[in-house]
Chain A
Amino acid sequence: MTGLQGGAVIAALALGLVLSFRASNVINIAHAAVGMYSAYAFYGLRNYDVDSTERGGDLWLPILGAPSKVHILDRPTVAAALSIALLLAAFFGALLYVAVFRPLRNAPPLARVIASLGIFLYLTSTMSLRAKEIGSGAASLKLTSMLPSGVIKIGSAKIPTSAFVLSGFAVVAALLLALAFSYTRFGLATTATAEQEKGAILTGISPHRIGIFNWVLASLLGAGAVILIVGVSGVLVPTETSLLVVPALAAALLGGLDSFAVTTAAGLAIGMTQGSLVWFQLQSKSLPDWLPNNGLSQAVPVIAILVAITWRGSKLPNRAAMIESRLPESPTPRNPVAWSLVMATAAIVALLQLDAQWRLAIVVSTIAGFVGLASVVVTGYVGQISLAQYAFAGVAAFATVKLTKQGLSFPVAPFLAIAITIAIGLLLGLPAVRVRGMTLAVATIAAAVAIEQLVFNSPSLAGLGAIPRPEIFGIDLGFSATGDENFRAAFGIFAVILFVLATLAVANLRRSPTGLRWLAVRGNERAAAAAGIDVTQTKLSAFAVCAALAGTGGALLAYQSPALSAQQFMVVGALAVLALCFLGGIASISGALVAGLLASGGILTQLQGGNTGNASNYQFAISGLMLIAVAILYPDGVVAAVRHSVAKLRRMSTA
């Protein structure tokens, strides 16, 4: 895949993001995921060899509980398969708008982010299940390109014809959109709806229809782009393909989520930069060899964009933008000490009594709980929607292993690793100083991807293997052992005690002046500044605490896993944790507990009968659905809803 091809796809996806943002003020993180599904639909239908007797024509369905595929017609032509795939994409676009984002148009930004995360999780997990059924290697779908395969020579450069076709597709789409938006009644009406729904009603077109139209258009563009590029690149992997949305988000943000022309140009530029970076990295002998193969090309554009949006933001929102950014209520923790004791006792008794699989599940839940606590602090208490928590955990985990390999021992290595993580946390907190809401969510996703690409995939971190067992006061805290003794309780007890201490610390912070400042900043940055609160410092302190918590989880993981891999710290994990916290109440410690319990491979998985390989996909898919439902039904969070109904019952019983 050349830079120009990649750029064209990024541009086309970014155009869809701009469209749906204009229509309903939502940055749809699941945009490329819909395209990914359409690609499965298309290539599933076309999955037959023309020279054989294969029938093809199977439509894969992303519906949990329904059959994974239905046969609809024998040997469909490209046109037939494409029409079906695009029809489905259009249907999804309309469905997402009508069922999810229209009801959420006035909901807090967090609810909108959560809903789009829910869709992302649902589609990627159900399609991962399907991908396993399809199989890999020779069994996988035939991904053949529909585009002409020749090359065009310009000077000494050979550029594939398909690159021109693809970028032509993006540029023409941008042009048509720009024209439509400035000259047709529909375009003008969309602009009017974005400003105010009444504006659109005045133009005589129902805002509902405008929304559906824009979302269908966005979906079609995205599906078309993904189907085409998958053919060219020959790669279709649910999560990876859905994460094409990251560079597209970057392009859309550079276009201010408004300009079609700038967005397209930015998309093409990002793609070509990536292309030339790949080339540069291949050619250059002077680059350090710890640099992962595609690291520069994946990370550099993302970092550039981070810097650009950060630089363009402002430290305080202006007077006009002082809209309420409601977040779920944050109840003051009551009796944290008593709760912690109960929790610790239960976990320790379980660790001592139950079998190895249970001990593993408890440890997995505990570590996920740390990441959950990190989310509660930074997103729940301070209102900064961050999706970099797993990146923090990963930094700490890899640093612990690396430092141990350098000769540092327990507990010096993990301490130092957590300190490094805090420094990274402060660095990643910088965008939060200047951008807010959904834009910040996107910025943190970008940062997490950058870390993943540059650090976690680094050859110098690959295959580091296990590290010496931790030991304190002569007590062996190692996790592994042979036979039934494996997954030793000692390590579990150590992790649980750390978690309980962390929970207490978070409860303390929430009640202390630091916590009050956090909530003040989350509620109203201008008023906080006027009250003498250093908003920058307050946000950074939260990012530091967040990094320390996630980092502790990561350091534990370093001792728990026999070998670390980049997969353990992918941004998708952070999406899931944030989502689970939201279910349990993002602004209270209960959120972290729920995130821990429901973590894949954790206590709930064990209750359902243990890890069967597909469990995490099922779990993510179901949490995805739950999230969408919760975001729509209780945009202020489940806990608030429960509290309100309890209050209502009380009032009814006293009346």
Chain B
Amino acid sequence: MNIVSVENVVKIYHTGMKRGNITALNEVSLSIDQAEIFGLLGPNGAGKTTLMKVLLGITRATSGGVTVMGLSPADAGSREKVGYLPENHRFPNHLTGIGLLELAGRMCGMSNAEIKTRADELLPLVGMDKWAHTKIRKYSKGMAQRIGLAQALINDPDLVCLDEPTDGVDPVGKIEIREVLQRIKEQGKSVLLNSHLLSEVESVADRVAILSKGRVRRVDTVKHLTSRQLEYEFEAEIGDRFLDIPPEIGKQVAVTANGMRVELKSREGVTHIIDMLRQRRINIYAVTPVKMSLEQSFIELIKDQATPGGQQSGGGAS
């Protein structure tokens, strides 16, 4: 069973006359498996937060099918084993850190003893044990974020939804949060992670959906998204020449600082290029397959969608 399944979900916000209707989600479909860290990536306003809220029943989809733990979000039971760290949260600030955990725990139907045990585990985990008895209104952004993560985990959820979890957190805290996510995953639980920080998603997520303007542009593993097939960087003394590579082998895409970049039709092309370079007595120092960062891949995908037809990316001179 999928932990989360989303099918053709549309969400239209009916705002005032001026801005008209906003289609925040447009025919979105995806699913999240057990023990998977699923990243939602997209520029601001892409609909990431909206999708998360739809899953939690905070906002209702205009149309389409959503199930969480096999139940509709309208059913409170679907949230029994779910934790949520909202974006831009303002937790009830009359509470202390531990008070927030107690309230969250009781709302999840936990007993005082259960809450106590769990809080004693979670507070050190998020590095907030020293601040547990301080009012939330005195917390910094990063501290509120850490306690927010703890409250999302209070009921030992099978699915944790985190909306921009490292927002306002210091670099050390970011690494700590990443470790927490890995631990959750090792326990066989799923994580839905929203972030505009691509490097962060890249380092933890198993699969990623790229959203832009309310549409899912691509759902894939991070590995696939970041490896560009059959592009190689040749570190060689080429200068700023363009090589006359036969079209059936491939083409030179660019001249780089240390050599050139080529796009090949097949892997055997590498040997061919090496032969060509050797014939011309050009020294070769290294050949590396080109890997894009998720960021590049993301930007290209978004750019593609922005330009109608969108196929001219990557290729320059030929």
A, B: real partners: no
Q: Which residues of A contact B (CB under 8 A)?
A: none
